[in-house]
Amino acid sequence: MIVLKNNEFIERNEATIDMEDRGHQFGDGVYEVVRVYDGEAFLLQDHLDRLQYSLNEVEIDYDVNEQRLSQLLQQLIDKNSIDDGGIYLQITRGVAPRNHPYPEGAQPVLFAYPLQLSRPLKSQAQGITTILQKDFRWLRCDIKSLNLLGNVMTKQKAHNANANEAIFFRNEDHVTEGSSTNVFIVKDGKLYTHPADNLILNGITRRYIFHLANQLNIPYEETVFSLADLKEADEVFITSTSAEVTPVVDIEGQKIANGQPGPISQKLLDGFFEYKNVDQLTNV
């Protein structure tokens, strides 16, 4: 495995982290996961735009364009001969003596490396089971930060329940997102998903679904919906870089519709690659 550290390509066994890296001690950093299909990063510029947003929000002084990060990541893909897989990248505030305030003069540290990812074809064909979890996380879920303990704890709770994912809710009238996904419901042929505010991560695949919906003439609305809306939906599905579009057929033992993936989910899946040659979602 070849790893990208800052602007240098190194071997996996050389990819060491200083014990005083603030990402290690405070989770003081941000990250992205980019899908690679046929040797090319999918929607890379949108991922980099979101990365820059996260960097700006936490005031890490790193400019993805000045650092030529797009070109470096494509080189990383090529050097690792990634055809079908992914890239993980993170940027921390850097190394400094342990102290809570932002240190002056710390240099950001970037790591990026390949991920083994494949399409979740079985889950897409059969649908997945989920649990519900009261959303106890911080109120800046729009920042894709390294602080994922709440998500990890919740994903483990789903795993312990033999479920594939957990769906967060703030209260009975407010479903937010999954522990590592965005959540959509379908009612009477229309898509509904939570608005892109501070309570969810504005998923790149979430936004790609809007692009697909426009191409396929499927109406959609960004709005808050309730647990009752979730359980009474005609269809439920999750989206993420790795999940693409994956139907939900069971929520805590309650079947959604007839317990089978629905036609809208299937239509989106069928069109997922047909319309993926969009250059940048921010221009759609």
Active-site annotation, residues: 31, 144, 177, 201
The alpha carbon of 130 is separated from its chain's Cα centroid by a whole number of angstroms, namely: 17
What phi, psi does 158 have (nearest 5°)? Answer: -65, -45
Contact 22, 29 (CB under 8 A): yes
Residue type, 122: K
Nearest to 202 by CA among 220, 222, 187: 222
CA distance 242 to 239: 8
How far apart CA 30 and CA 50 sit, in angstroms, is 10
Question: What span, in angstroms and rounded, lies between the C-alpha atoms of 188 and 206?
Answer: 20
- How far are the Cα atoms of 38, 182, 208, 212, 273 from residue 277, in angstroms, in the given order? 12, 22, 11, 11, 8
* Residue linked to tokens 């309730």: 226
CA atoms of 183 and 131, how far apart (whole Å): 13
Burial class (CB in 10 A: 0-12, 13-18, 19+), 19: exposed
Query: Backbone phi, then psi, for 235, in 5-degree steps?
Result: -150, 155
CA distance 62 to 66: 8
